[in-house]
Amino acid sequence: MGAETLAIEVAYALPSRQRIVALRVPEGTTARQAVALADLPALFPDVPGDTFFQAPLGIFGKALRNPDTQLLRDGDRVEVYRPLAVDPKVARLERAKRQASDLGG
């Protein structure tokens, strides 16, 4: 009997467009391996290719601690996360400064 395969998806989105790639992968495939199999650099030629292989990953909105060893299950959707444009701590600090200045502080 041959190895089992899993039906999974790999998702990546830019502000202007997104792609969800449906794949069948062998049982034992990791999240990072699935991203490589999805060939996202070919679908997003304007994004540096190494972006996809270093980006944080998640499954259905839950960030993975170690995508290089996280084994996939049938039906999983691996999400490739883009880096944040602004650090949330910096954004909160800037907002607080603006609010203080609006209040005359």
For the chain, what is the total number of helices (H) and then of strands (E)? 4, 5
Question: Among candidates 9, 5, 8, 53, which has minimal Cα distance to 26?
Answer: 5
Q: What's the predicted TM-score (pTM) here?
A: 0.77
C-alpha atoms less than 13 angstroms from C-alpha of 71 in its C-beta half-sphere: 6
Q: What is the pLDDT of residues 48-82, one digit of tens each?
A: 888 888 899 999 999 999 999 999 999 999 999 98
- The top-level CATH class assigned to 5-102 is alpha beta
Read off the tokens for 16: 């202007």
Q: What is the pLDDT of residues 86-101, one digit of tens each?
A: 666 776 777 778 887 7
The residues spanned by each domain of the chain are 5-102
Say which residue the tokens 């034992």 belong to. 28
